[in-house]
Amino acid sequence: MTTSRCDLMRWQFDLTWALFEYHLERLRPEDFLWEPGPHCWTVRPAADGTWVPDWADTEPDPVPVPTIAWVSWHIGWWWSVAADHLRGRAPRERTDITWPGDGPATVTWLRDLRTDWLAALERLDDSDLDAPATFPSPNDPQYTVGHMIGWVNAELMKNVAEIGQLRLLLRAQEEKKS
């Protein structure tokens, strides 16, 4: 049995998404802004009612521990930009990607990003994977669409693990208090 490269990348994405659904289904609205320690990155309400993520152009030392809200915004940011590139749209700026807010809205947003990404992937065949890509590394001329899709799968798996670990730590802390 021969598996195409597109099919293999899609399988890897679907596996990662199944792991994400496990956590998305169990997240409570109050989980998103839980701060696991004193040095955190989160999202904060702005005067206009939108949410603004903590950010530094140079990674701080020590690196702040992110909240689930921040990680979910981060997924929305990089995934929106990756989808823009894959679809040939002008990529949005980081500051154009806003966190939706409460838990259910964020979960819906992430699931909608998945739907948009899958629709873009459905248009591809193996020959498309060899086309040049400028995201996520605009200065590397050897990057291809296949690299970008592989990067999305890896970045999503990393972020899913972070959200899962934060959720598990919160539950463990709650059990310890009771």
CATH of 69-178, one of 1.20.1050.10, 3.30.930.10, 1.20.120.450, 3.40.50.2000: 1.20.120.450
Element (H, E) at 44: strand 43-45
pLDDT one-digit tens code per residue, 82-92:
999 999 999 99
Any idea where the domains of the chain sit in the sequence? Answer: 69-178
AA identity, residue 172: A
pLDDT in tens, 89-148: 999 999 999 999 989 999 999 999 999 999 999 999 999 999 999 888 877 778 999 999
Digit-coded pLDDT (tens) for 33-42: 999 999 999 9
Closest CA to 50 of 116, 95, 108: 95
Residue 75: per-residue pLDDT: 98
CA pair distance 92, 154, nearest whole angstrom? 21
